[in-house]
Amino acid sequence: MWRSLRRVKIPTPVAAHGAVRRSRWKHSLRYTQEYQRSVESPEDFWAEAAKDVQWFRPWDKVLDEYVCCGSQGPIHKWFAGAQLNTSYNALDFHVACGRGKSVAIRYDSPLSNTKRSLTYDELLEQVSTFAGGLRKLGVKKGDRVLIYMPAVVECAVAMLACARLGAIHSVVFGGFASGELAARIDDAQPTPKGVIKYEPLLNEALERASWKPKKNVILQREMCPFDLQKGRDIEWHDLMAQSSPVDAVPVLATDPLYILYTSGTTGMPKGVVRDNGGHAVALKWSMSNIMNTYPGETFWAASDMGWVVGHSYIVYGPLLQGCTVRSHRTLLLLLLLLTIVSRCGQSVIYEGKPVGTPDAGAYWRVLSEYGVKTMFTAPTALRAIRKEDPDGKLIQQNKAAVHETFKAMFVAGERGDPKTLKFFADQLEVPVVDHWWQTETGWPMSSQCLGMKQDTTSGPYPGIKFGSVSRAVPGYNIQLMSAEKSEHDAHHGHNHDSDEPDKELVVKLPLPPGHVPVALLVLKNDNERSHEEITAQVVADVREQIGSFVCLKTVAMVPGLPKTRSGKVMRATISAIAESRPFKVPATIENAGVLADVREALKKVGYAENDVIMQ
């Protein structure tokens, strides 16, 4: 529908979408039909989905394709010519529909012992006022704003305020050191920036960066006051007190919403530019049709807002979802609507860890306390919880309260091993859905859409087995390999999990020409077997379970594998160490200390003969 630009103008009477609170995939035939329609007639498919977004101006063309000089292929633009504002869709529209008193965000920080709740009214006021402050500092449509903050409400406010002005935000993960922050300042060339408490990191980054931001907006936190520099820094609350709310600025659907840098597991991170229109349409569709989460229900993504998960499913997805409504003229349906849509979707911002804040029961406390229906986390977090609570005692302590609202858990960011997923599915008695996507896509490419059968091979459309990459999501024309393929095909990218001898073994094929496989094993703490015994067992397992063509002969024992903070194994770094090639330690590494252990373990088996020079 096309909306007025006023922030709280009451829109045309609307009626609730018929699919509210019920999965559209109850019948497998529906999924098959929708998927085929999405790949055969993408314009029709996404034009229908776009009706759930509020537009200031309709599109000239749903999908515009053209070839740019020097490009590798055709360039695609979604909803060319259309105008909207993402902040308006996430906030103003819900307030205009009378849902301003509903809770929009719940903030929980065991680290600072703080809990907050903001309604849509309150969040709109903060966002529009901070947007006014940014405008006062000279920020306008098309400018870039770097945000360097922890998982706090103000980070979401800053993101939405940028979107409100048509400015492009670039959120940097709060754990990055000054060098990586400086690199992102130079690449994004922002105007103002928000920052967390890391004063020395910011100051050093600004000294090292060739691009100098004009102003820095500093959020002061009591646990670590920031020494403001006169003329350069302005305190968050001071700026808010000096500013007035501003209306949403119409932007083209193809205008950038944000720049987000990839994790950089193989080298320098690269900035991904996301547009406004396609982003809003896809996220709203995914909330309904993948996550099956609707107005009045709470969604929690246990991530950081510096990652794509935080952008899509902490901030924008849940807030955009609100109520899926369509226009209707009868008074009876309008009165019914006022009852149906009196509540709006909520999002949880959690500033804590899966373990240690204070224990492995932190997640289950949040689920029960805030009535979370759907959760998103990483397999690494689940493995950490299981290690601390192997029998699930803390789950059982909270199970009754959790079960009142909790319906599904989604995991992504790395492969979810079947044992971990099954453990939590059994303990929680809800579907645990492993799905796949990446920073470049912004939302899932393959997933089991909630409502479809799980872990079964019966029926007209088989379900998903634990450990599977799942199925292509409608809208993505991708091909996935099934277990029914030939042996040669099925072993490309084959993952083999083994209980004996007390290890997890992963073999990735095919190997590049001229390379031989080397296995790095992380053993359980209670292992008492010798290196020779374990090597013999692993080699035998590989020959029996995968095939002799793997030719595995070398096995190294390591205390841990280098991983990013999102749980990805840094294979390129391990390969460089083994071949004594210079490498740069990616800024996203979680456990840099294990690199020396990996080098020593590889030396013992004939690799990493020369000292590696880290660039």
Q: What is the pLDDT of residues 42-51, one digit of tens each?
A: 999 999 999 9
pLDDT of residue 276: 98
Domain boundaries, the chain: 490-604
Cis peptide before 42 (omega within 30 of 0): no
Q: What is the mean pLDDT of the chain?
A: 79
Question: How far is it, in rounded angstroms, from Cα 190 to Cα 216?
Answer: 10
pLDDT attached to residue 499? 36
Tokens, residue 534: 């374990």
Angle of the 379-388 helix axis to the 418-428 helix axis, nearest 10: 70
Q: What are phi and psi of 45, to 5 degrees?
A: -60, -50
pTM above 0.85, yes or no: no
Per-position b or e across 498-529, b if 16+ CB within 10 A of its CB:
eeebbbebbbeeeeeeeeeebbbbebeeeeee
Q: How confident is the model over 586-600, as pLDDT tens digits?
A: 777 778 888 889 899
- Token pair, residue 492, equals 């490309």
Distance between CA 123 and CA 105 in Å, rounded?
Answer: 8
Q: For residue 442, what are the CA distances in angstroms to 169, 212, 298, 310, 356?
A: 15, 30, 21, 10, 30
Distance between CA atoms of residues 481 and 456, nearest Å: 17
Q: From the CB of residue 611, how many other CB atoms can be counted at a distance below 10 Å?
A: 8
What angle separates helix 153-165 from helix 120-136, to the nearest 10 degrees? 60
What kind of architecture, by CATH, is found in domain 490-604?
2-Layer Sandwich (3.30)
State the Cα–Cα distance between residues 468 and 2, nearest whole angstrom: 41
Q: Which amino acid is at 338?
A: L
Q: Which residues of the chain are under the pLDDT cut of 70?
A: 1-29, 67-72, 174-188, 190-199, 263-268, 323-345, 451-464, 480-514, 525-526, 545-549, 565-567, 612-615
Give the pLDDT score at 254: 97
CA distance linking residue 506 with residue 515, whole number of Å: 17
